[in-house]
Amino acid sequence: MFSRNRMKEYTGSCSIERLREVLDTADAVVIGAGAGLSTSAGFTYSGERFERYFSDFYRKYGISDMYSGGFYPYDTLEEYWAWWSRHIFYNRYADAPIPVYQELLALVKDKDYFVLTTNVDHQFQRSGFDKKKLFYTQGDYGLWQCSKACHNRTYDNEAEVRQMLAQQQDMKIPSELITHCPVCGAPMTMNLRCDNSFVQDEGWYAARCWYSDFVRQHKHGKVLYLELGVGTNTPGIIKYPFWRYTLENPDAIYACVNFGQAYAPREIAERSVCLDADIGRILSALNPEAVS
């Protein structure tokens, strides 16, 4: 359907004015959000922010960023949860340093919209987006599941995370705070899609249905597929479907805002707006009255 040769991909229009025009005239907006959106909002996983919260883990293990720290084979569950309670709190229960999500909401709140995201930091809902217009495909830092996936249920973790954060010392939590599955007794783990044990609970399936219904209802008409900060790790979730939906609907527009990775296939280049820039800067330019 699309060219496999990256050299045959084009940028389409690079005009903020064009993006403002299609946003204003769209009957519906489908937002596809990746890690670049949260990075623009200040949720950086390395550098000064990492050093502020995890310098002790760097000194002991040489861990240099939050992403790789999540995969480190810690010796004990006490250390594992010392790491993860911090990681969860500062990337899920703390407000984003920059109000990029609020600016995005200001642009679409009066539109018929839906959000499909691979982000797991829950910032859409924290910023006021309608829960029934969100599909978090890859999990949520705010949920735990059985590490053996013995049943399809997830558990809110805020109270436990705050307790772990408050009581940890020397990079360990008290042993009595380690959580276990109420069904089989195995340790709990994060509800994140990293292997085939990921639990898709009732909420996940409900959100998938909401998204599928929205896409089906808007197969035709002036639909804007707005892709924000989506990379190439999992293009089959957002990027490729957005290209296909745009190709199949002659009235649809594809827009991509991504620092360093803004492009569209030749087949839809004339109906594409691709901006190689910081997402927050573009959103502010589109809506000068948004939260600043």
Residue 1 lies in a domain: no
Domain harbouring 121, CATH code: 3.40.50.1220
Residue 291 lies in a domain: no
Residue 34 lies in a domain: yes
- As beta bridge partners, residue 207 has none
pLDDT in tens, 144-188: 999 999 999 999 999 999 999 999 999 999 999 999 999 999 999
| Predicted pLDDT at 9 | 61
287, 103 contact by CB (below 8 A): yes
Q: Which of 160, 192, 224 is the last residue of a domain?
A: 192
pLDDT in tens, 33-51: 999 999 999 999 999 999 9
Residue 214 lies in a domain: yes
Same domain? 125 vs 257: yes
150, 186 contact by CB (below 8 A): yes
Q: How many distinct structural domains can be found in the chain? A: 2
Same domain? 179 vs 275: no
pLDDT in tens, 104-137: 999 999 999 999 999 999 999 999 999 999 999 9
Same domain? 70 vs 154: yes
Count of beta carbons in the 10 Å neighbourhood of residue 199: 19
Same domain? 255 vs 122: yes
Whether residue 5 is predicted with pLDDT greater than 90 in this model: the reply is no
| Range of the structural domain that residue 58 is part of | 48-95+150-192
Band of pLDDT at residue 288, cut at 50, 70 and 90: low
Mean pLDDT of 271-280: 96
3-state secondary structure of 146: strand
Same domain? 109 vs 223: yes
Whether residue 2 is predicted with pLDDT greater than 90 in this model: the reply is no
Q: Which residues contact 164 (CB under 8 A, 6 or more apart)?
A: 81, 82, 85, 173, 177
Mean pLDDT of 54-81: 97
Mean pLDDT of 74-93: 97
Q: Which residues contact 235 (CB under 8 A, 6 or more apart)?
A: none
Same domain? 124 vs 249: yes
Mean pLDDT estimate for the chain: 94
Whether residue 292 is predicted with pLDDT greater than 50 in this model: the reply is no
pLDDT in tens, 180-239: 999 999 999 999 999 999 999 999 999 999 999 999 999 999 999 999 999 998 999 999
Whether residue 4 is predicted with pLDDT greater than 60 in this model: the reply is no
| Predicted pLDDT at 3 | 53
Higher pLDDT, 289 or 22: 22
